[in-house]
């Protein structure tokens, strides 16, 4: 992380790992990468499972989503990290990726969007917005979200349906893929002397 960044106050790359929001769950991992001179922060996540929730189309309506409480807490911690990054640099390039175990219109995703991220699944036509199939319900649990400074560089995004539609699966989730156009920095600075380019 950036020197002096208060959000990376524990192990390198781990976001607030002792926070109770991650009890019995996976902890988010933040990485800082440089592409063509541009720094990109990628936060890998696997929010807690939807296990224990009522079925979406079960007897209880609306369904009780007891697991969402912890995902809301996890989204708050990750969102606070993003808020701190953007406070230091409003044009920071940030990606949140992973199995967030919730839908694009859910409270945890809405919380991350309130930190200035866009859910890339929403760039697809509605009939293509799924990465998982549960009890015949095609849904999105796997997400890529990007900050405003990266959205302007989005070249392509898609969900590769190689698992959710088939009985023979490598995983029960489909991979999601995004491509951003980050051209190399080609600014040349001359001197007062005779410069030669090679």
Q: What is the pLDDT of residues 41-100, one digit of tens each?
A: 999 999 999 888 888 788 999 888 888 999 999 999 999 999 999 999 999 999 999 999
Q: What is the distance between the alpha carbons of residues 34 and 52, in angstroms, rounded to a whole number?
A: 40
The pLDDT tens digits for 114-124 are 999 999 999 99
Return the percentage of the chain with pLDDT > 90, whole number. Answer: 56
Q: Is the pLDDT of residue 113 over 50?
A: yes
pTM (predicted TM-score): 0.83
pLDDT at position 12 is: 61
pLDDT at position 3 is: 46
Give the number of residues written for the chain.
198
Across 41-45, 100-104, 191-195, least confident range: 191-195
Contact between residue 73 and residue 21 where contact means Cβ atoms under 8 Å apart:
yes
Q: What is the distance between the alpha carbons of residues 102 and 118, in angstroms, rounded to a whole number?
A: 15
Q: What is the distance between the alpha carbons of residues 108 and 85, in angstroms, rounded to a whole number?
A: 19
pLDDT at position 130 is: 83
Question: Encoding tokens for residue 10?
Answer: 């524990």
Question: Encoding tokens for residue 44?
Answer: 């890998």
Q: Which of 160, 25, 2, 144 is nearest to 81 (CA)?
A: 2
Q: Is the pLDDT of residue 196 over 50?
A: yes
pLDDT at position 183 is: 86
**Which residue(s) pair with 134 in the sheet?**
137
The pLDDT tens digits for 137-166 are 788 889 999 999 999 999 999 998 887 777
């Amino acid at each position: 992380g950036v020197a002096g960044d208060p959000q990376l106050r524990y192990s390198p790359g781990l976001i607030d790992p002792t926070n109770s929001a991650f009890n019995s769950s996976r902890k988010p991992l933040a990485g800082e990468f440089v592409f063509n001179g541009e720094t990109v922060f990628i936060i890998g996540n696997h929010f807690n499972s939807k296990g224990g929730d009522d079925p979406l189309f079960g007897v209880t309506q609306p369904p009780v989503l007891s697991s969402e409480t912890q995902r809301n807490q996890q989204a708050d911690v990750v969102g606070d990290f993003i808020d701190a990054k953007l406070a230091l640099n409003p044009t920071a390039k940030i990606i949140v990726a992973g199995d967030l175990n919730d839908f694009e219109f859910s409270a945890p995703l809405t919380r991350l969007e309130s930190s200035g991220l866009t859910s890339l699944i929403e760039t697809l036509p509605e009939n293509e917005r799924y990465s998982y199939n549960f009890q015949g319900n095609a849904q999105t649990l796997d997400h890529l979200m990007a900050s405003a400074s990266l959205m302007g560089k989005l070249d392509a995004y898609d969900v590769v349906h190689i698992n959710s539609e088939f009985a023979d699966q490598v995983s029960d989730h489909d991979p999601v893929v995004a491509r951003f156009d980050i051209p190399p920095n080609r600014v040349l600075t001359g001197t007062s002397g005779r410069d030669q380019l090679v």
